[in-house]
Amino acid sequence: MFDYNPPQDLLKDKVIMITGASDGIGKACASSFADHGATVICLGRSQEKLEALYDEIEVRHAGKVIIHPLDFATAQPEDYKLLANSLNEQFPALDGLLHNAALLGARSPIEFYPEGEWETLMKVNVNSAFMLTRALLPALQNATSGRIVFTSSSVGRQGRAYWGAYAVSKFAVEGLMQTLADELATTSNIRVNSLNPGGTRTAMRQAAYPAEKPDSQPTAESLMPVYLYLFGPDGDTLHGKALDARNFDGN
């Protein structure tokens, strides 16, 4: 695993938004980023889980966490505009955006994939990333060195049978990352990358591999050095990269 010992104030005065923050990797990132000085804006569909996360962070870092319940499966364009307007009223800039929310969906051949489930999964895994990024780009442009990290997957870089809409959605996320990175390469200080966290001890992993022993995979917390590196000043040189947490070396 990547060996990185960042200073405690690595993300001091940074404002970072995290989707899918109520569980798994998103939750670990919210906690870790706040521990390193950031104000975190946590999005998720479960208000109950977000409130528990709020209490957990607030007791350690008062005033450093904001929660915003939002279900990407039902969100409308107006919801993204309202979120962007609310952020602009509270902060002069957005320093980071972590796209972590995703649905796993059915594991079945394309021939038999449920149409409704396909559409919902694309809305959550792909469309929301586009809508949220578009709405927040002005705020990210206001940052000295903005960051956008899209969560990828190995099945979004090499197709694999029966991974259906999830795999296709992750290919789309890679395309969104590459297109946006190319557009911003010479016109912005925003750094855009994708990160495949690899197998991680999360509820989604357990759903995908129900026979697998959970403790055979690393914890979400063990991945935090990679995420901190990407969102901190050391990540300034990385742009347009399809990264893998398991073999990440800072390049």
Per-residue pLDDT of the chain (251 residues; tens, 9 = 90+): 788 999 999 999 999 999 999 989 999 999 999 999 999 999 999 999 999 999 999 999 999 999 999 999 999 999 999 999 999 999 999 999 999 999 999 999 999 999 999 999 999 999 999 999 999 999 999 999 999 999 999 999 999 999 999 999 999 999 999 999 999 999 999 999 999 997 555 555 455 545 556 665 667 788 999 999 999 999 999 999 999 998 899 98
| Beta strand ranges found along the chain (DSSP E) | 15-18, 39-44, 65-69, 96-99, 147-151, 191-196, 242-244
Domains of the chain: 15-247 (3.40.50.720)
CA-CA distance, 84 to 97, in Å (whole number)?
Answer: 12
Would you name the residues annotated as active-site residues? 166
The residue with tokens 């450093």 is 64
Residue 210 has what pLDDT?
59
Sheet containing strand 65-69, strands side by side: 65-69, 39-44, 15-18, 96-99, 147-151, 191-196, 242-244
Residue 198 has what pLDDT?
75
Cα-based distances in Å from 202 to 46, 61, 104, 219, 221: 16, 25, 12, 8, 11
Which pTM was predicted? 0.93
Residue 1 has what pLDDT?
75
Listed residue (131, 128, 139, 196) closest to 16, CA to CA: 139
